[in-house]
Amino acid sequence: MINEHTHLRFAAAEDAPLIVEFVRLLAEYEHMADQAQATAENFQKYVFEEKKAEVIIVEYDGQPAGFALFFHNFSTFLGRPGLYIEDLFVKPEFRGKGLGKLLLTFLAHLAAERNCGRLEWSCLDWNEPSIAFYKSQGARPMSEWTAYRVTGPELEELALEFPGR
């Protein structure tokens, strides 16, 4: 418990449907609802069984209000692990209560506790409210880097090119 209204906790396996709900709400906010394919079974397998990622949930007055999904990456330059925030989302009706900052500061605390050299995430270029919030917390955009991604059929095709398959 953070205060009389706010509770922050690591998600448990029974939270998988709630995580799907948060992801769908985030996808709608980001105008990407057609791309949200994750299921509770995906989270059960990859988060809770295989431990590929971790999830924290923030509750306000006993209601699920937001979440963050994150995982470890590694910096070869620093020679240390980092934390990468895949998603951080607070439901619209709970915004303005400091919950986004609570999630972000908890992740910063966790990164420091785990001796990570970095806390990183991506933000859509059009998402001005989030960009302003992140900058107010001391984050700076990495404008000299461009993210690249291979998914779906392109990923399968690239994998087929591996000579040792």
Active site residues: 134
| Residues counted in the chain | 165
The number of helices, as runs of H, and strands, as runs of E, in the chain is: 5, 5
Please state the separation of Cα 120 from the chain's center in Å.
Answer: 10
User: Are residues 118 and 78 in contact, defined by beta-carbon separation less than 8 angstroms?
Assistant: yes
Q: 3-class SS at 61?
A: coil
- Which residues, other chains included, contact 148 with Cβ-Cβ below 8 Å and sequence gap of 6+? none
b/e string for 112-138 if b means 16 or more Cβ within 10 A? eeeebeebebeeeeeeeebeebbeeee
CA distance 126 to 75: 28
State how far the Cα of 143 lies from the Cα of 66, in Å rounded to an integer: 28
